[in-house]
């Protein structure tokens, strides 16, 4: 089945220790998104890739970086995680970055920062 896969599902890191979350897709979609969702809050878009073009949201902290080495994979790097970065991180894909195209979400990675 075509899908969006996120690994790991649960990630524990220490304060200030870099961590990488990964996302892969078999849908061959050209757009990939990373969202941060904190408890009882709405998913918040961090950035997205339209093919190789990177689009950062204005309020995304510099601590968050992303890489997309190919169509199938996208990584979220948190350079120095703080306690406030503990959240669920959702990866999503869509065929094109315009309205009217639904996004397909992965199951998320829950990040804990100790």
Query: Could you say which of 41, 53, 77, 114 contacts another protein (CB under 8 A)?
Result: 41
Per-residue DSSP letter, 15: T
At 84 the three-state DSSP class reads helix
Query: Could you say which of 24, 36, 48, 66 contacts another protein (CB under 8 A)?
Result: 48
φ/ψ of 83, rounded to 5, equals -60, -30
Query: Could you say which of 64, 76, 87, 106 contacts another protein (CB under 8 A)?
Result: 106
Encoded one letter per residue, x for contact with another protein by CB under 8 A and - for no contact, window 55-74 reads --x-----------------
Closest CA to 111 of 11, 17, 44: 11
Query: Could you say which of 45, 63, 71, 95 contacts another protein (CB under 8 A)?
Result: 45
Contact 63, 18 (CB under 8 A): no
Spatial separation of the C-alpha atoms in residues 114 and 105, rounded to whole Å: 27
Does position 100 interact with another protein (CB under 8 A)? The reply is: yes
Provide the token pair at 16.
Answer: 């200030």
Residue numbers of the site for another protein (CB under 8 A)?
4, 6, 40-45, 48, 57, 90, 92, 97-100, 102-108
């Amino acid at each position: 089945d075509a899908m969006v896969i996120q690994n790991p599902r649960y990630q524990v890191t220490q304060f200030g220790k870099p961590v990488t979350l990964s996302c892969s897709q078999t849908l061959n979609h050209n757009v990939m998104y990373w969202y941060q969702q904190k408890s009882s809050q709405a998913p918040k878009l961090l950035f997205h890739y339209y093919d190789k073009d990177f689009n950062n949201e204005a309020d995304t902290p510099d601590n968050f970086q992303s890489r997309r080495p190919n169509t199938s994979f996208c990584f979220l790097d948190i350079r120095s995680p703080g306690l406030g970065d503990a959240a669920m991180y959702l990866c999503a894909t869509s065929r094109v970055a315009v309205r009217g195209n639904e996004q397909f979400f992965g199951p998320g990675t829950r990040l804990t920062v100790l």
